[in-house]
Amino acid sequence: MNITPTTSAMNLLNTAQHKSADAAQVIAKLPIQNDEVGSPEFNSGDIIKPVLSLKEAELETSAAVKLLEADKKTLGSLLDIKS
């Protein structure tokens, strides 16, 4: 099996997309009423994990983009050398 930077980047993007979708769903389901922090059902600890998952997904997406850019640059350099 041949693993390329593009494959790794696409896997990272896919993982990040799933993480962000899961985290967004958890955040959307949190019990928050009109006065948000005044709600007796709201626990600020409940939102920490999904927000960290969103940040992790952002960092994974950034890493995937950098991988794709590096692969593109490398491929361009190889084409320049062969021309």
pLDDT at 4 over 90: no
The reported pLDDT for the residue numbered 2 is 73
Domain ranges of the chain: 5-28+46-82
Query: What are the pLDDT digits (tens) for 43-68?
Result: 667 789 999 999 999 999 999 999 99
Exposure b/e, 44-83, CB count within 10 A at least 16 = b: eeeeeebeebbeebeebbeebeebbeebeeeeeeeeeeee
pLDDT at 28 over 90: no
